[in-house]
Amino acid sequence: MEQTQPKTQPKKKRRRPRKPKVIGPGQKFARQLLIGVMHGLFLLTRSLRFANTPAIEQPCVMAVFHDELLALCQHFRHQDITTIASQNHFGYAIAKALEHNGYEVALGSPSRGGQDAFFQLLRAARKGRTVAFTVDGSRGPRHEMKPGAVVLARKAGLPLYLVRVQCKGWRISSTWDKFKIPHPFSTATFYSERFPLENYGDEVPVEDIVKDAEKRLVALLADDYRGST
């Protein structure tokens, strides 16, 4: 009787790490300049006073808006939080400033490395780290929530918190998010809530959950931007 040889499973191809993009001297200078600017902005926000600080159960997933990053990042610095930044010069500068302030950063965006970055965040969440998502990043539209935070919270089994912060500051109207730079020594007031993700069964489409979460995140704080969008 002939013996059949056991079928060997084909070896899975290991994904090669993404090669870093080669940049020229001018781009290197621009990148270093942006890093210096971001470090300066983070130092500027050290003078902020915080009010109504959120009682957040950690680890969790935090959903925030991109234009409120500076005040939020200052409050949550050195708290074992992982976040994401875009793979462009501005995102790289933000990432370096965040790392200097105790954050772990995954680099990625919808067009470049987004899936890799999402799995980095998922691994971090499963290891017990809090993950912060700029839910309207990295290109907008402004204050329109993307599904990343909801999907991550469901996969990792973590609570989802919606977090906003209000403070006086300057708006950069030329940016897609109307990015806010807080006034030195101003008070940053938090508005937050735990989103009841557990009330949504597996049969509920993610899009419906995201719409509900977006409405509640927007409703936490009136938009103080008065310029044209």
Is the C-alpha dihedral spanning 130, 43, 85, 49 positive or negative? positive
pLDDT of residue 150: 97
Q: How far from chain centre, in Å, is Cα 163?
A: 12
H/E stretch holding 170 reads strand 169-172
- Confidence at 15, pLDDT banded by 50, 70, 90: very low
Q: Which of the 8 DSSP states describes residue 217?
A: H
Q: Which residues contact 119 (CB under 8 A, 6 or more apart)?
A: none
Which residue has tokens 């044209």?
Answer: 228
Q: Is the pLDDT of residue 110 over 60?
A: no
Cβ–Cβ contacts within 10 Å for residue 72, how many? 21
pLDDT of residue 16: 43
What is 49-219's CATH superfamily?
Tetrapyrrole methylase, N-terminal domain (3.40.1010.10)
- Confidence at 109, pLDDT banded by 50, 70, 90: low
pLDDT of residue 34: 86
Q: Would you state the structure tokens that stand for residue 164, as one six-digit string? A: 């906003």
Distance CA 113, CA 138 (A): 12
**Which SS3 state, helix, strand or coil, does residue 160 take?**
strand
pLDDT of residue 19: 45
Share of the chain above pLDDT 70, in %: 86
Tens digit of each residue's pLDDT (9 = 90 or more) over 35-61: 898 899 999 999 999 999 999 999 999
Query: Once rounded to an integer, what is the mean pLDDT over residues 24-40?
Result: 84
Say if residues 63 and 133 touch (Cβ distance below 8 Å). yes
pLDDT of residue 14: 45
Distance CA 85, CA 92 (A): 7
pLDDT of residue 52: 97
Rounded to two decimals, the pTM is 0.84
Q: Is the pLDDT of residue 228 over 70?
A: no
Tens digit of each residue's pLDDT (9 = 90 or more) over 66-75: 999 999 999 9
- Confidence at 17, pLDDT banded by 50, 70, 90: very low
91 vs 206 pLDDT, higher one: 206
Distance CA 7, CA 2 (A): 15
